[in-house]
Amino acid sequence: MSLACDQLLDKIHSKRACVGVVGLGYVGLPLLVEFARAGFDATGIDVDPRKVDAINAGTSYIPDVKPADVESLVAAGRLRATTDFRAVASLDTVNICVPTPLRKTKDPDMSFIAAAVEGIARHLRPGTLVVLESTTYPGTTEEFVKPRLEARGLMASVDFFLAFSPERVDPGNPTFNTRNVPKVVGGVDPESTALAGALYASAIERIVPVSSPHVAEMVKLLENTFRAVNIGLANEIALMCDRMGVDVWEVVQAAATKPFGFMPFYPGPGLGGHCIPIDPFYLSWKAKQSGFESRFIELAGHINGSMPHFVVSKIADALNVQQKSINGSTVLVLGVAYKRDINDIRESPSLDVMTLLMQKGAEVHYADPYVPTLSSTDWHGGQDLKEPLKSEPLTAATIAKADCVVILTDHRIVDYAMVQHAAKAIVDTRNAISRPNPNVFRIGAPTAAGMRVPLRTPDDREAKVVA
């Protein structure tokens, strides 16, 4: 090993290395906290002063990071945050954890990575390890990041070290977190791989070294493409079962009893979150550059992307039984987060369903205890709201006012028995109300009692069945 590698490796092992993380969101802040908890002097860098101020004040805006942990680490002098990239000059390692969205044309938006890398390059000093964690296409580390870091004269594998290690965060998962999820690491050279592995090993239980950044980049895309394709299959089976009058939820539950050769995936209103709806298109885009057509990915994307439209058609069916149209009806959306028990609305299919309903003339409200307000800035590509929407209270009276309630996120805090009793009609996309009920329309399942829906009012607790 080179002298520079030996020196940095010694700093990492002795916890004398000053570590930094650029991008303090769902990936970056938990990682920064784990480094600080492991005994490193940890500095976070983010362009959002609100995040920086919150961390320096000893609090957390990420549900998976306890405010008490941030407070104690800040008080101990091991954790701090700044908006100033000049902090890079005092760091021994820098992890990049910034967003990687798609453009409207479904090609990668590399602007966040470019801004982060250029900010680092201005203050990069010899002997520093830089690790990219942002999910992106194979080749990004060596073809996009490396030349930008080298633009000011320092050379990778000579003056600084460079690696890729894909983030594997699952927000809200009570079992798997930053510390106990294995970390894949691939450097541009063996020294970079060894240094990145040593850095992560100080805070994470298991390290999985691979031969190159290309392999590490492909690992992440395979993981999420696997999920996207299988969810697409589950959604197609749900569409099929819906047409055939078969309960897809019962089918999947029974199939899941097979102890080998089957892994259950479940249908829903569409894909949400920062990874699964986006990562397969990074892979598809890169494949097209090599002249390869990724047909599974494209088909799964088509099916998953069509689910919000199918949900709206189900809402139309539920309203039609009441002799109402979507236009002019009041629809209450239960859940706008992309999955249960978190506050993350990135790429949430709930927003797509709400947009379609508004375009068809519905009066749309929502109730989500994890998302108190919803503004135009949160609603990427959605409605231009004059006033932010506010979450409705989850009461029987609120439920009963709606012509149709649609369950798009099955938060466990919701009393679904109350919802089922109070609602005129329910479209359930998550099997939150698993037993057949006359006023419940589940995707991929027949409706009970021949589409007979009990109409309720806030003052009338007895069902008035309309044939």
The residues annotated with a catalytic role in the active site are 275
**Residue 295 contacts residue 222 (beta carbons within 8 Å):** no
